Chain A
Amino acid sequence: MKKKIKRSWAEPYKMKMVELLKMTTPSQRKKALDEAGYNTFLLRSEDVYIDLLTDSGTSAMSDRQWAGMMLGDEAYAGSRNFYHLEETIQSIYGYKYVIPTHQGRGAENILSHILIKKGDIIPGNMYFTTTRLHQELAGGKFEDIIIDEAHDPENEHPFKGNVDLDKLDKLIKKYGANKIPYVSIATSVNMAGGQPISMQNLRELRTLTRKHNIRIIHDMTRVAENAYFIQQRENGYENKKVKEIIKEICSLTDGATMSAKKDALVNIGGFLAVNDWDVFEEARNLVVVYEGLHTYGGLAGRDMEAMAIGIHESVSDDHIRARVGQVIYLGEQMIHYGVPIVKPIGGHGIFVDAKKFLPHLPQDSFPAQTLAA
Chain B
Amino acid sequence: MNTIIEPFKIKSVEPIFFTTKEERIAILRKANYNPFLIPAKDVLIDLLTDSGTSAMSSDQWAGIMKGDESYAGSESFFRFEETIKNITGMPIVIPTHQGRAAEKILFNIIGGKGKFIVSNTLFDTTRANIEFSGAEGIDLLCEEGKHPCVPAAFKGNMDVEAFKKFIREKGAGNIPLCILTITNNSGGGQPVSMQNVKEVKQVCMENNIPLFLDACRFAENSYFIKLREEGYANRSVEEIAQELFSYADGCTMSAKKDAFANIGGFLAMQDEQLAKKCRNLLIITEGFPTYGGLAGRDLEAISIGLKEVMMEDYLRYRIRSIEYLTNKLMAAGVPVMQPAGGHAAYIDAKEFLPHIPVEQYPGQALVAALYVEGGIRSVEIGSLMFGKYDGEGKLIPAQMELVRLAIPRRVYTQSHIDYVAEVIIETFKKRKEIKGLQIIEEAEILRHFTVQLKESNDEVPSCPECLFIKQFV
Residues of chain A whose beta carbon lies under 8 Å from any beta carbon of chain B: 17, 19, 36, 40-48, 51, 53-54, 56-58, 69-70, 72-80, 83, 102-103, 105-106, 109, 130, 133-134, 137, 267-268, 277, 280-281, 284-285, 288-294, 296, 298-303
Contact = CB atoms under 8 A, between A and B. Distances in A.
A57 B292 CA distance: 12
Given A43-B72, A74-B262, A75-B40, A303 B48 contact: no
Given A75-B48, A77-B48, A46 B97 contact: no
A105 B14 CA distance: 33
Interface string B32-54: 00011111111100101101111
Interface of B: 12, 14, 35-43, 46, 48-49, 51-54, 64-65, 67-75, 78, 97-98, 100-101, 104, 125, 128-129, 132, 262-263, 283-288, 291, 293-298, 443-446, 449-450, 467-470
Nearest to B262: A300
B262 A301 contact: yes
A125 to B, nearest CB: 22
Contacts of B42: 78
A292 B51 CA distance: 11
A77 B68 contact: no
Given A46-B75, A51-B70, A298-B101, A78 B52 contact: no
B100 A289 contact: yes
Contact of B284 (A58, A134, A284, A296): A134
Given A109-B284, A133-B284, A285-B443, A75 B71 contact: no
Given A57-B71, A76-B36, A78-B38, 9 more contacts: A41-B288, A45-B73, A45-B74, A76-B49, A102-B98, A268-B293, A289-B129, A302-B262, A303-B295
Nearest to B49: A76
A19 B69 CA distance: 11
A105 B75 contact: no
A280 B468 CA distance: 9
A291 B128 CA distance: 13
B75 A44 contact: yes
Nearest to A43: B73
B53 A76 contact: yes
B68 A289 contact: no
Contact of A268 (B37, B38, B132, B298): B298
A289 B128 contact: yes
A102 B293 contact: yes
Contact of A75 (B46, B296, B298): B46
Given A80-B39, A293-B36, A102 B53 contact: no
A45 B68 contact: yes
A78 B39 contact: yes
B295 A285 contact: no
B97 A291 contact: yes
B70 A58 contact: yes
A109 B64 CA distance: 28
A268 B262 CA distance: 13
A285 B469 contact: yes
Contact of A130 (B49, B284, B450): B284
Contacts of A80: 39-41
B34 to A, nearest CB: 9
A168 B470 CA distance: 35
Q: A-B pairs with the 7 shortest C-beta distances? A: A75-B40, A45-B70, A300-B262, A102-B97, A268-B295, A78-B39, A267-B295
Contacts of B294: 268
Given A45-B70, A53-B71, A57-B295, A285 B445 contact: yes
Contacts of B46: 75-76
Nearest to B289: A41
Contacts of A281: 467-470
Contacts of A288: 125, 128, 445-446, 449-450
B445 A267 contact: no
Contacts of B446: 285, 288-289
Nearest to B65: A17
Contacts of B98: 102, 292, 298
Contacts of A43: 72-73
Residue among A268, A294, A301 with max Cβ neighbours from chain B (10 Å): A268
Nearest to A66: B65
B104 A289 contact: yes
A56 B295 CA distance: 11
B40 A45 contact: no
Contacts of B295: 57, 267-268, 303
A54 B263 contact: no
A267 B71 contact: no
Contacts of B128: 288-289
Contacts of A75: 40, 43, 46, 48, 53
B296 to A, nearest CB: 7
B469 to A, nearest CB: 7
B445 A289 contact: yes
A129 B62 CA distance: 35
B35 A40 contact: no
24 contacts: A41-B288, A42-B72, A44-B78, A46-B75, A51-B70, A57-B71, A58-B69, A58-B71, A69-B64, A75-B43, A76-B46, A77-B40, A78-B36, A78-B43, A80-B40, A83-B39, A102-B263, A103-B287, A280-B468, A281-B468, A285-B450, A288-B125, A288-B445, A300-B298
